[in-house]
Structure 1
Amino acid sequence: MWPAGNGHFCETVLSYSKLVSELEQMVKKMVFESYDAEKYYDSHIQSTTYLLRLIKYRGPQKNETCIGTSCHTDKSFITILHQNEVCGLEIQTKDGEWICFKPSPSSYVVMAGDALLAWSNGRIHSPKHRVIMNGNKARYSIGLFAYHRGIIEIPEELADEEHPLQFKPFNHYGLLHFYFTNKAGQTESTAKAYCGV
């Protein structure tokens, strides 16, 4: 993973990822319980894998606005972001309004990904977000992305007359492959294009 000689750094990153994965599991448990789907929690956790990304966005040059990342939704089940005090993360509300997240060193952003949108039968919103850099400071962030090995099924508790089934069972890695091979095209929702009913 890292060149020789960075053992302490690797241990620190591993310890950090374990702690943040515990936070992700706590959030996931609250979500499952709030939808009376806690009986699925243990098997879901056993099938969860994590990706930790360390990201640096350079500060833009003078009179330049730098797009760190373009508008997108995450393809994860849950994403947890931790960043330094440099602003840049913008999240789009359901109403289409962009809000700028102003971080503190102790704050985390928890976002639902497209897989959670599908698992919840569309009840949980997967927000569009982007990074726009202004000023001259670099922005550092750490993102923990939770993925599910195997097939994700929409719990029967989340489909009823008021909430008809919107998504078929799907392979989470298949969703990622669908997205990264550009089969999703310019669709509004990768999840709906991949596994929508």
Structure 2
Amino acid sequence: MAIPVIDFSKLNGEERANTLAQIANGCEEWGFFQLVNHGIPEELLERVKKVCSECFTQEREDNFKNSTAVKLLNDVVEKKSGQKLENLDWEDVFTLMDNTEWPTKTPGFKETMTEYRSELKKLAIKVMDVMDENLGLPKGYIKKAFNGGEEEEESAFFGTKVSHYPACPHPELVNGLRAHTDAGGVILLFQDDMVGGLQVLKDGEWIDVEPLPNSIVINTGDQIEVLSNGRYKSVWHRVLATPDGNRRSVASFYNPSLKATIAPAPELVEMANQELHQITYPKFVFGDYMSVYAEQKFLPKEPRFQSVRAM
């Protein structure tokens, strides 16, 4: 079993209907799929790899060596307890947003990542337009919902998380990143070409998301599940710690504005009523959901939905 790999360029040709169906299947059956021929220039992707790797080695690696994760793992090994560090991630991570401080010591980092984020945001909107079409919603429905109901206003959140998972001497004792579903909307991941470790839970089995050079992995977050009234599910995924290599991961998130009200699309609620499906998703303000998520990220999502229902 492997997550679907989809040629995004075929949306513009004779195979459009088949490509739409492949994306619908990826959203409905997997919650994950890989896009190739997605329109992001390979030259830009090569620069992203270069500046992110250089940023880690020049600006981040020494701090990681002195991090809590390294110290706690060393303690466990010294004590020979064999106890796994369940509440810890073997990850170095920072987030890029338009209004935050970016790394400054890596040549070309800001210019490259600014260009990359601009391209990824455009790709995110194209992917959401395809989801609208597949769900039978008006074009721009998801984007408008994420922007707080405004057609033109750009209040949706777009962040980019740059992670490295250094080689771990005892990968059996720690997670790279604990299993979770993503809180937000559409996630676009540019993962390492060589070092694997990302896994998706499918039918009770953990499936590897195999590295595919210069592909973009798409997954759907909790807010897409709500807007689609459960047609598209956010799914559990995790990153394994590995004994060799240094996994690079650049994940961009197109999420609702914190003030946006999120609810199942009325058209999909009506369809579910006609088909006698039970409606289970509440209406809530995304900022309230994020407050709950901050406390419950690594727990099942259903209680989070119940918590915001009661707010």
Per the normalisation by structure 2, the TM-score is 0.57
Q: Within 1, Cα distance between the matches of 2:229 and 2:282?
A: 9
Q: Which has the higher contact order (CA 8 A, sep 6+)?
A: 1
- Tell me the CA shift for residue 42 of structure 1: 5.3
1:170 Cα offset (Å): 1.4
1:128-174 deviation per Cα after TM superposition (whole angstroms, max 9, x unaligned) = 00000223111011000111111113211111322343212211222
Question: Which of structure 1's runs of 4+ aligned residues deviate more than 6 A?
Answer: none
- Structure (1 or 2) with the greater helix fraction: 2
Q: How many angstroms does 1:193 deviate by? A: 2.6
TM-score (norm 1): 0.87
Q: Give the total of aligned pairs.
A: 194
Relative distance call for 1:3 and 1:25 in structure 2 (3 A) is closer
Contact 1:17-1:52 at 8 Å conserved across structures? yes
Give the corresponding residue for 1:38: 138
Q: Does 2:186 match 1:73?
A: no
**Which amino acid in structure 2 is aligned with residue 169 of structure 1?**
K
Structure 2 counterpart of 1:151, from 256, 261, 269: 261
Question: 1:156/1:53 Cα in 2 relative to 1: closer, same or farther (>3 Å)?
Answer: same
Query: For residue 29 of structure 1, what is the aligned residue in structure 2?
Result: 129
Q: Please say if 1:11 is aligned against 2:11.
A: no
Structure with max Cα Rg: 2
Runs of at least 5 residues in structure 2 that lack an aligned partner in the other structure: 1-100, 148-153
In the alignment, the residues of structure 2 paired with residue 151 and residue 67 of structure 1 have an alpha-carbon distance, to the nearest angstrom, of 34
Deviation at 1:185, TM superposition (A): 8.6
Is 1:178–2:289 an aligned residue pair? no
> Which ranges in structure 1 are unaligned for 5 or more consecutive residues?
none
User: 1:115–1:191: 8 Å Cα contact kept in structure 2?
Assistant: no
C-alpha distance in 1 between matches for 2:175 and 2:298: 21
Once superposed, what is the RMSD of the aligned Cα atoms?
A: 2.3
What percentage of residue pairs aligned between the two structures are identical?
26
Asked if 1:54 is matched to 2:168, the reply is: no
Q: Report the Cα offset of residue 52 of structure 1.
A: 0.5
**Structure 1 residues 4 and 64, CA gap change in structure 2 (3 angstroms):** closer
Partners of 1:3 and 1:153 in 2: CA distance: 37
Q: Residue 97 in 1 paired to residue 210 in 2?
A: no
Q: In the TM superposition, what is the alpha-carbon distance from 1:187 to its structure 2 partner?
A: 4.0
**Counterpart amino acid of residue 288 in structure 2:** G
